């Protein structure tokens, strides 16, 4: 795609970036930043005009029929990288990823790459493919091909957006990979269906929900200066629906200290209902805006199963004790990881922080092979492992979509359901379950309606830990489990007490309003609540005369710690009172707004 870019634009780009290009061992090591290099932004308007003024080697109309954007935890056939700078990190990615998938290395000289892999003891003779072609930078996540499926599982294809950097050779990599794999490549390059987008600012649940920062509105909206079609938000969302099958699309406010504004620097979907979210100390760096964005998602969106998203926190590690709100500190993150079938590659920095992060990954993705790769060299360039890899889905997925069932109080047999699809059909499915006191037991699942398969786990006693997974078989004999590690990493839950909790127990357990911060407040303000039990509650803000200013929250307060937020910038300066009320009593704190 985009082969005949105007020579004038290309030459201008090379002149502007010449100082950043070096020669190493006979191949070009192109050191381009993830953001704009000096002089690049001025080239964007001519670059986009060049894309729109000519015919392209891709399909510029949307796919026909239903489209589904692949989720990153689905089964993959390949991982794409471009062999440029930071080859020590790329080498470790190849070492581990080739055990799971074919690694496609786009490079200038495959013999140089082979020699580097040989010297590191990495076997490239199997599951590694070299494609000698032109490219500009290492950041393949942003410009690489996006895997979609037509009619859920029938046909794999690619979608290629306009890259938000004027890098012509990067922007044609989707075409290069599509040609190698023999896939259709759809592109959003021609008005009125033209959009600029990047893979680092996109996350899909595989069921029609995606996440991005509102950078996409800035780059495609009515005030963009690059010459795209100046889309309204509704028009942008419609194009994403036509090409990617996206129906629900939370666009979160860009973070003040993440200059790239890509959500993969602080978030990752672990499955259809769980968000791994980077966490800073209270009030530090991007912490307040991250919390506000998460609350926006929880207040306005549900999972595909109609439930609240589950939030898993992972620390954002400091750089020599400092965070990105200090000018010299790097934007370190453990969220910028890549899932490659049953292996997860996680960036690491310092052992004292890495051990906690890797433990959190292992606890939340049991059975997966969690591999840390040291990324101190690359993180100053505003990216890590996710930014320099791009996964490709399998051609014929045996797709199992399901939510993790939390049975809680189990007073009767509990239904487990999953949507299972394969282009040749599904011949059967089994539900495997066990307790701490039993070996694996199996239940044959029935095809209850359309593509929904179900079985019932029998009633268990209180405090019993139950683990389960599903194994499906396609008509062509293919088998797969969900979760992918199967018996090595099943879903699990604990059966809880089924009795009625008394008021005395609620008071004993306590639901507490913790210390509000920051206080005094002037902008986003956090109201932490801890509760031993799940309980109905209301959080309200009153003025000094006892008048209601705002009902912050009304509904179920979950067990454990939860956080609620107000924007104190909308309040007049003065004294207010925040009150948490439940059937067990009320708690009040004074809040000063300056």
Q: Which of 61-75, 116-130, 176-190, 501-515 has the lowest mean pLDDT?
A: 501-515
Which two three-digit tokens encode residue 449?
A: 């309606």
Name which of 458, 467, 398 is nearest 428 in CA terms: 398
Residue 567 CB contacts under 8 Å (≥ 6 apart), including other chains: 292, 523, 524, 525
pLDDT, mean of residues 5-21: 37
Which fold would CATH assign to domain 503-593? Answer: Immunoglobulin-like (2.60.40)
Rounded Cα distance between 422 and 394, Å, is 12
Q: Which of 158-167, 218-227, 497-506, 524-533 has the lowest mean pLDDT?
A: 497-506
Q: Round to the nearest angstrom and report the end-to-end CA distance of the chain.
A: 55
Tell me phi and psi for residue 149, to 5 degrees.
Answer: -125, 135
- Dump pLDDT digits (tens) for 193-242: 999 999 999 999 999 999 999 999 999 998 888 888 889 999 999 999 99
Which two three-digit tokens encode residue 589?
A: 């704190």
Tell me phi and psi for residue 538, to 5 degrees.
Answer: -135, 135
Rounded Cα distance between 477 and 504, Å, is 57
Name which of 341, 335, 305, 334 is nearest 489 in CA terms: 341
Residue 210 CB contacts under 8 Å (≥ 6 apart), including other chains: 69, 202, 203, 204, 240, 244, 246, 248, 249
Which two three-digit tokens encode residue 510?
A: 């306590």
pLDDT, mean of residues 474-493: 96
Residue 86 three-state SS = coil
Domain boundaries, the chain: 7-393, 399-494, 503-593
- Dump pLDDT digits (tens) for 80-138: 999 999 999 999 999 999 999 999 999 999 999 999 999 999 999 999 999 999 999 99
Q: How confident is the model at residue 258 (pLDDT cuts 50, 70, 90)?
A: very high
Residue 81 CB contacts under 8 Å (≥ 6 apart), including other chains: 90, 93, 94, 103, 104, 105, 106, 138, 140, 388, 389, 390
Q: Answer whether 96's CB lies under 8 Å from 372's CB.
A: no
Helix (H) or strand (E) holding 276: strand 274-279
Q: What's the angle, vertex CA 82, arms to CA 80 and CA 88, rounded to 5?
A: 105
* Mean pLDDT computed over every residue of the chain: 89
Q: Where are the alpha helices (DSSP H) in 301-398?
A: 351-364
- Dump pLDDT digits (tens) for 273-307: 999 999 999 999 999 999 999 999 999 999 999 98
User: What is the reported pLDDT for 247?
Assistant: 96
pLDDT, mean of residues 320-345: 97
User: What is the reported pLDDT for 140?
Assistant: 98
Name which of 260, 328, 336 is nearest 34 in CA terms: 260
pLDDT, mean of residues 11-25: 36
Rounded Cα distance between 364 and 341, Å, is 15
Q: Where are the alpha helices (DSSP H) in 120-198?
A: 140-143, 173-181
- Dump pLDDT digits (tens) for 370-419: 999 999 999 999 999 999 999 999 999 999 999 888 766 666 788 899 99
Name which of 210, 150, 234, 159 is nearest 189 in CA terms: 159
Q: Answer whether 134's CB lies under 8 Å from 10's CB.
A: no
CA distances (Å), origin 222, targets 36, 181, 201, 230, 235: 21, 37, 20, 4, 11
Same CATH topology for 399-494 and 503-593: the answer is: yes
- Burial of residue 6, with CB atoms counted within 10 A of its CB: 0-12 exposed, 13-18 middle, 19 or more buried: middle
Task: Give me Rg for the CA atoms of the chain.
Answer: 25
Q: How confident is the model at residue 503 (pLDDT cuts 50, 70, 90)?
A: low
Rounded Cα distance between 324 and 317, Å, is 10
User: What is the reported pLDDT for 505?
Assistant: 52
Which two three-digit tokens encode residue 548?
A: 């209601």
pLDDT higher at 202 or 47: 202
Q: DSSP class of residue 162?
A: B
Q: How far is C-alpha 260 from the geometric centre of its chain's CA atoms?
A: 16
Q: Answer whether 582's CB lies under 8 Å from 511's CB.
A: yes
Q: What percent of the chain is predicted at pLDDT more than 70?
A: 91
Instruction: Specify the CATH number for 7-393; select among 3.75.10.10, 3.40.50.11810, 3.30.1380.10, 3.10.180.10.
Output: 3.75.10.10
Q: For 399-494, which CATH class? A: mainly beta
- Burial of residue 464, with CB atoms counted within 10 A of its CB: 0-12 exposed, 13-18 middle, 19 or more buried: middle
- Burial of residue 238, with CB atoms counted within 10 A of its CB: 0-12 exposed, 13-18 middle, 19 or more buried: middle
Q: What's the angle, vertex CA 88, arms to CA 83 and CA 92, rounded to 5?
A: 90
Q: Answer whether 349's CB lies under 8 Å from 336's CB.
A: no
DSSP 503-567: HHHHHHH-EEE---BSSSBSSEEEEEEEESS-EEEEEEEEETTS-EEEEEEEEEEPSEEEEEEEE
Within 13 Å, how many C-alpha atoms sit on residue 248's CB side? Answer: 13
Q: How confident is the model at residue 465 (pLDDT cuts 50, 70, 90)?
A: confident
Tokens 């499955």, residue located: 271
Residue 314 CB contacts under 8 Å (≥ 6 apart), including other chains: 276, 277, 278, 279, 334, 335, 357, 360, 361
């Amino acid at each position: 795609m985009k082969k005949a870019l105007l020579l004038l634009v290309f030459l201008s780009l090379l002149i502007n970036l010449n100082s950043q290009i070096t020669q190493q061992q006979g191949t070009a090591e192109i050191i381009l930043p993830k953001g704009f290099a000096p002089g690049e932004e001025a080239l964007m308007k001519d670059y986009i005009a060049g894309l729109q003024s000519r015919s392209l080697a891709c399909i510029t109309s949307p796919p026909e029929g239903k489209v589904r954007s692949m989720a990153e935890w689905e089964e993959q056939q390949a991982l794409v990288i471009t062999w440029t700078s930071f080859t020590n990190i790329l080498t470790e990615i190849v070492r581990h990823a080739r055990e799971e998938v074919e690694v496609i290395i786009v490079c200038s000289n495959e013999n140089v790459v082979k020699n580097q892999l040989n010297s590191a003891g990495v076997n490239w003779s199997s599951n590694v493919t070299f494609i000698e072609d032109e490219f500009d930078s290492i950041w393949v996540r942003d410009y690489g091909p996006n895997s979609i499926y037509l009619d859920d599982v029938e046909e794999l294809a690619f979608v290629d957006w306009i890259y938000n950097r004027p890098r012509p050779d990067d922007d044609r990599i989707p075409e290069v990979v599509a040609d190698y794999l023999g896939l259709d490549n759809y592109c959003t390059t021609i008005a009125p269906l033209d959009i600029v987008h990047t893979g680092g600012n996109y996350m899909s649940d595989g069921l029609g929900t995606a996440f991005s920062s509102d950078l996409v509105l800035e780059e495609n909206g009515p005030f963009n200066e690059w010459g795209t079609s100046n889309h309204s938000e509704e028009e942008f969302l419609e194009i994403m629906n036509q090409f990617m099958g996206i129906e629900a699309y939370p666009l979160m406010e860009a973070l003040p200290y993440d200059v790239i504004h890509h959500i993969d620097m602080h978030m990752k979907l672990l499955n259809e209902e769980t968000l791994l979210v980077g966490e800073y100390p209270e009030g530090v760096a991007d912490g307040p805006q991250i919390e506000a964005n998460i609350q926006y998602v929880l207040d306005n969106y549900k999972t595909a199963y109609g439930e609240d998203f589950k939030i898993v926190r992972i620390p954002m590690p400091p750089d020599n004790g400092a965070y990105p709100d200090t000018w010299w500190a790097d934007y370190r993150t453990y969220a910028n990881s890549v899932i490659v079938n049953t292996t997860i590659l996680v960036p690491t920095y310092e052992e004292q922080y890495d051990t906690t992060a890797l433990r959190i990954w292992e606890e939340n993705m049991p059975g997966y092979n969690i591999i840390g790769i040291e990324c101190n060299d690359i993180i100053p360039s505003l990216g890590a492992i996710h930014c320099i890899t791009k996964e490709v889905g399998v051609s014929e997925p045996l797709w199992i979509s399901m939510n993790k069932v939390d049975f809680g109080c189990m007073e009767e047999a509990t239904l487990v359901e999953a949507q299972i699809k394969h282009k040749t059909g599904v011949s059967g499915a089994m539900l495997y379950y066990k307790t701490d006191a039993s070996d694996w037991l199996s239940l044959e699942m029935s095809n209850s309606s359309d593509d929904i398969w179900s079985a019932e786990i029998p009633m268990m006693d209180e405090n019993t830990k139950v683990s389960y997974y599903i194994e499906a078989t396609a008509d062509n004999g293919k088998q797969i489990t969900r979760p992918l590690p199967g018996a090595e990493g099943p879903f699990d839950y604990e059966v809880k007490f089924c009795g009625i909790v008394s008021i005395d127990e609620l008071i004993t357990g306590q639901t507490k309003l913790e210390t509000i911060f920051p206080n005094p407040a002037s902008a986003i303000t956090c109201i932490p609540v801890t509760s031993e039990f799940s309980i109905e509650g209301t959080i309200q803000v009153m003025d000094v005369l006892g008048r209601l200013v705002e009902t912050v929250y009304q509904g179920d307060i979950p067990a454990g710690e939860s956080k609620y937020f107000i924007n104190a910038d909308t309040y007049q300066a003065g004294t207010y009172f925040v009150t948490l009320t439940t059937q067990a009593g009320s708690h009040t704190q004074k809040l000063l707004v300056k």
